[in-house]
Structure 1
Amino acid sequence: MDRSQESPTTRETLHPPEPRTLVETTSLHARLRPTTPAVLCEGRTLTYGQLHRESNRIAHALRAAGLAPGDRVAYLGKESEHYYEILFACAKSGTVLVPVNWRLTAPEVSHILEDSGTRLLFLEDEFGPIVEKMPTAPPETVVPLGEPFAAWKASHPDTEPGVDVTPDTPVAQLYTSGTTGLPKGVVLAHRSFFAIRDALASEGLDWIDWREGDIALIGIPGFHVGGLWWATQNLNAGTTVVAMRAFTARQAVGLIRDLGITTACVVPAMLRMMLSEPGVGAEDFTTLRKTVYGGSPISEALLEQSLAVLDCEFAQIYGLTETGNTAVCLPPAAHVPGGPLMQAAGRPYPRVRAKVIDGEGRTLPTGAVGEVCLATPARMVEYWGLPEKTAETLVDGWIHTGDAGYIDEDGYVFIRDRVKDAILVAGENVYPAEIENVLEGHPEVAEAVVVGAPDERWGEYVHAFVVPAPGHQPRPRDLHTFLVPRLAAFKLPARYEFLDAVPRNPSGKILRRELRDRFWGESARKVN
């Protein structure tokens, strides 16, 4: 028997059947609700009619600049209405949007622009110094946002460009840290932003739903698949999204209270920060009807506190950039304080399958722990330019997640550990190899091993074990100073520990698990 007692959809729930691609989204809603706000940002309003027309202009401008379908267009800036104009313009011109994490350093940004082959970069002035410091040349065309951007698009028509796209046409390329140290470009097609909506509609489920009059807060930035997915789900449904330039707990609470926000998508660390704000209480969240959360595991204590204070429905989502964001959901009815499912990641949506395999690729029985694999119609097209890596992760339609867990008798997925070495810092994926490679470039470091350790505020923090080079004793302050210009702030180790040697097995392989287990002890779930 299914323990979650999921409820069927209500008559208010929006499941527009027409859009199959992001190209169709703006034309549909420009027709149905041209004056309805599509995006609110810092007091500015972009209606659906304006979103349609402005994205058309930008699409024409991209074509006039010589970009062809399949060319990459990058965006380096914080959230704004312009980000969504550019997203839909890329869809309409057949180009592929590459959102760049603005927290990255110049070398990291350089890698993404070079690897993707970006031909045109939309750039906020604030991040101009990063581009100037890149070790490689910027793309052939750079369009500064603000007045130059307005002038650049103004002379082009607001008619639809008429470029043919299908649900399988690539539309976005998001970069995720890799086990080898260099981020990989995950290519997503239009279908990635429609498949889960359609799956829920096929069974009449309201695990996650969109209703007439909804105002949705985008807490997760658009360079993350979670933020991009949440925004497109709401825009596909014709609701209003509120874009925060960058998340702060105080502003988020204020927006929820003052704008009457009804739905929000956040990571657990954001929930913790909002609840920790001085003076914040249940009265600030009275308009919220549903909170969608994911990106990292959540503690049962934080979840119960959130349920009590926000007093709305909660839905947990689990997935990867490679799965097109969410593939598994813990529905609202399963959120029972003290209940058996409060530590579950959730169950697969209709049309999504989950299995657990051993090291030989054999499917394991119910309750056995192994690597979780997901088959979803929203899955990635490929890792850009990395066919071998693609073949390792996407096998016969199954995405190998790198997470260790099990599936119970009712089909619920529980995550218990990691097969791969990812660290989750406030929902950001960090891979040790990237940090280790940079650390070992310091002249006083002979070897470095990085692991994730539990952190009450951020979920996990980066802990670095360092073997000094002969005759040296580096100080944590010096290592930090060395890393700052080379790695994004969320990747920096919070603590350093110096060793004479790292533990290895007889064949010389580093026993990373032994180092990691120092922090996790005997806890059943070794992810936080």
Structure 2
Amino acid sequence: MDVSPALAETESVPTPPLPTRPRTLVETARLHAERQPDIPAVLCEGRTLTYGALHQESNRIAHALRAAGLEPGDRIAYLGKESEHYYEILFACAKTGTVLVPVNWRLTAPEVSHILQDSGTRMLFLGEEFRRIVDAMPTEPPEIVVALDSEDGFPAWRATHAVTDVGTFEATRDTPIAQLYTSGTTGLPKGVVLAHRSFFAIADSMAEAGVDWIDWRPGDIALIGIPGFHIGGLWWATQNFNAGTTAVAMRAFAARQAVDLIRDLGITTACVVPAMLRMMLGEPGVDAKDFTTLRKTVYGGSPISEALLTESLAVLDCEFAQIYGLTETGNTAICLPPAAHLRGTPLMQAAGRPYPGVRVKVIDDEGRELPAGAVGEVCLATPAHMVEYWHLPDKTAETLVDGWVHTGDAGYVDTDGYLFIRDRIKDAILVAGENVYPAEIENALEHHPGVAEAVIVGAPDERWGEYVHAFVVPAEGDRPSPRDLHTFLVPRLAAFKLPARYEFIEHVPRNPSGKILRRELRDRFWGDAERKVN
């Protein structure tokens, strides 16, 4: 193969010896390529990528990134559905010190444009079905765009490069590897920068403490139900790679396909959100025989109802572990272990307890720690926490305080150390595990000439957990229909952010200082429910 002189020089640099356990994704790729090169790392739509091939192909991509002028710290975006290529690119980023920016393919052109501009993305890997989104962006695309699905795109782009170790960049546990975007109270998504340690710290702490709440065993085949642009999907994939097990990637979650994969491939572990459990159980003809190979199901991303959890335990008939955390905490910080899934007990409503090495506290409005049983803001101290919000030092300082991540969730810790989530402080709405923030929708709605003011709240929904409910004050002399508003929002917001219902009101309730009494509107749907998350 042709290799440029600059790249040829890097190939002669010796690589350091491998540790017993990997500490970075660079070490993960080398370790399993050396010890089990023929074991499948990724299965996707009938294709198999072994650990040996994952190492070689990510080396090839890493050399191509260098040849294209990408340097450590540069941002590389991926806008496409799941495939083995996503993980090849992830490991190539690790080997070059570049940072992967996975983009939610459900977003609209303006939303994608914001992420690419805010991150300063220099290279974009683009699935053909999403080219129309990039073409419709109000800004120019990144300087380099590589087509994932074209023969003269991604395959040709990497084909002429070496498969040997890159060898010049040495990642540490604190080296940034991913930048995931999460919505916020201001309406504009923030880039959460995560280092390698975010994908190792929790598993390492469990191993050191001899805790098997979530475990990975030789021969495991793991279903990745959550997309890789979410921290849950990216975290679960990396955990399986770090352990050397096989990950099954779905281009996009589909309940019938997920059930078929579990049954036909003999899947042993899965990571899903509650809405996915509900959809799989709701598929016609699905019953316990479809899940006989499952030994553990990890679920999280949104609260689960006790009824759904009870049904899932009965039908899937395997161990269940609930995880709770944020993108800012590097995903999971709290776990409800299998042994705590005791039907008919209060623990079925708990988020869980901290992993070894993780601390939780609940504080009041003045920042004072509250005693057991008192409700306040949940704060988490975890070695997996984010590095920062990209280019937002003030927002970083608000959320990450002396090593504690302020979650914006309201809850309490009982006398046994179990955390219970009771409400939200930051007004987030969870639609099938997707974070939706009112400000973004309100801002979009108020650009409609027929809307004087809008307030968005979350209301309980049996299927999706919550739905988006819009309160609209019509402009004087104008009253748009719900269909008008829906049509107006479609090109501006991702589908999961669109209000499911509109309610027209004369005025927005406010307190004497003029602040919107959002809670008053929201409580109309939740009543006296003890837990105001669904």
Alignment of 1:28-67 (within 5 A): 28-67=31-70
CA distance in 2, matches of 1:407, 1:339: 16
**Shift in Å at residue 336 of structure 1?**
1.1
The alignment status of 1:348 with 2:354, answered yes or no, reads yes
Measured against aligned partners, the alpha-carbon deviations of 1:103-124 in whole angstroms (never above 9, x if no partner) come to: 0000000000000000000001
- The share of aligned pairs that are identical, in percent, is 83
**Shift in Å at residue 339 of structure 1?**
1.7
Paired residues, number: 513
CA distance in 2, matches of 1:27, 1:17: 12
Alignment of 1:317-466 (within 5 A): 317-466=323-472
Measured against aligned partners, the alpha-carbon deviations of 1:355-379 in whole angstroms (never above 9, x if no partner) come to: 0000000000011000000000000
One-letter identity of the residue aligned with 1:144:
A
Match of residue 131 from structure 2 = 128
The alignment status of 1:100 with 2:106, answered yes or no, reads no
The alignment status of 1:159 with 2:172, answered yes or no, reads no
CA distance in 2, matches of 1:334, 1:523: 23
Higher relative contact order (CA closer than 8 Å, sequence separation 6+)? 1
- Equivalent of 1:149 in 148, 154, 157: 154
One-letter identity of the residue aligned with 1:98:
V
Match of residue 194 from structure 1 = 200
- Equivalent of 1:513 in 519, 524, 529: 519
CA distance in 2, matches of 1:160, 1:96: 19
Measured against aligned partners, the alpha-carbon deviations of 1:157-199 in whole angstroms (never above 9, x if no partner) come to: 1111121110000000000001101000000000000000011
Deviates most, 156-165 or 354-363: 156-165
CA distance in 2, matches of 1:391, 1:455: 34
Alignment of 1:475-486 (within 5 A): 475-486=481-492
**Shift in Å at residue 202 of structure 1?**
1.2
CA distance in 2, matches of 1:476, 1:340: 41
CA distance in 1, matches of 2:198, 2:436: 23
One-letter identity of the residue aligned with 1:248:
A
CA distance in 2, matches of 1:45, 1:413: 40
- Equivalent of 1:86 in 81, 84, 89: 89
CA distance in 1, matches of 2:176, 2:316: 37
CA distance in 2, matches of 1:340, 1:456: 21
Change (3 A) 1:41 1:388: same
CA distance in 2, matches of 1:250, 1:81: 21
One-letter identity of the residue aligned with 2:65:
L
Q: Which runs of 4+ in 1 moved over 2 A?
A: none
One-letter identity of the residue aligned with 2:288:
A
CA distance in 2, matches of 1:18, 1:309: 36
CA distance in 2, matches of 1:121, 1:281: 42
Match of residue 10 from structure 2 = none
CA distance in 1, matches of 2:164, 2:465: 47
- Equivalent of 2:140 in 122, 137, 145: 137
**Shift in Å at residue 306 of structure 1?**
0.1
Match of residue 210 from structure 1 = 216
The alignment status of 1:307 with 2:307, answered yes or no, reads no
CA distance in 2, matches of 1:336, 1:282: 20
One-letter identity of the residue aligned with 1:306:
S
One-letter identity of the residue aligned with 1:167:
R
Measured against aligned partners, the alpha-carbon deviations of 1:340-389 in whole angstroms (never above 9, x if no partner) come to: 21000000000000000000000000110000000000000000000000
Change (3 A) 1:306 1:17: farther
- Three-state SS of the structure 2 residue aligned to 1:192 is helix
**Shift in Å at residue 441 of structure 1?**
0.4
The alignment status of 1:286 with 2:292, answered yes or no, reads yes
CA distance in 1, matches of 2:477, 2:205: 61
CA distance in 2, matches of 1:361, 1:336: 34
Measured against aligned partners, the alpha-carbon deviations of 1:409-430 in whole angstroms (never above 9, x if no partner) come to: 0110000000111000000000
- Equivalent of 2:497 in 491, 504, 511: 491
- Equivalent of 1:474 in 477, 480, 497: 480
- Three-state SS of the structure 2 residue aligned to 1:403 is strand
**Shift in Å at residue 17 of structure 1?**
4.3
CA distance in 2, matches of 1:29, 1:510: 55
Alignment of 1:220-235 (within 5 A): 220-235=226-241
For structure 2, the 5+ residue unaligned runs are 1-18
Match of residue 12 from structure 1 = none
CA distance in 1, matches of 2:37, 2:173: 24
Measured against aligned partners, the alpha-carbon deviations of 1:116-146 in whole angstroms (never above 9, x if no partner) come to: 0000000010000000000000000000013
Alignment of 1:106-121 (within 5 A): 106-121=109-124
One-letter identity of the residue aligned with 2:307:
A
For structure 1, the 5+ residue unaligned runs are 1-15
CA distance in 2, matches of 1:289, 1:485: 43
- Three-state SS of the structure 1 residue aligned to 2:346 is coil
Match of residue 6 from structure 1 = none
One-letter identity of the residue aligned with 1:260:
G
One-letter identity of the residue aligned with 1:137:
E
- Three-state SS of the structure 2 residue aligned to 1:24 is helix
CA RMSD of aligned residues (A): 0.6
- Three-state SS of the structure 2 residue aligned to 1:265 is strand
CA distance in 1, matches of 2:137, 2:287: 45
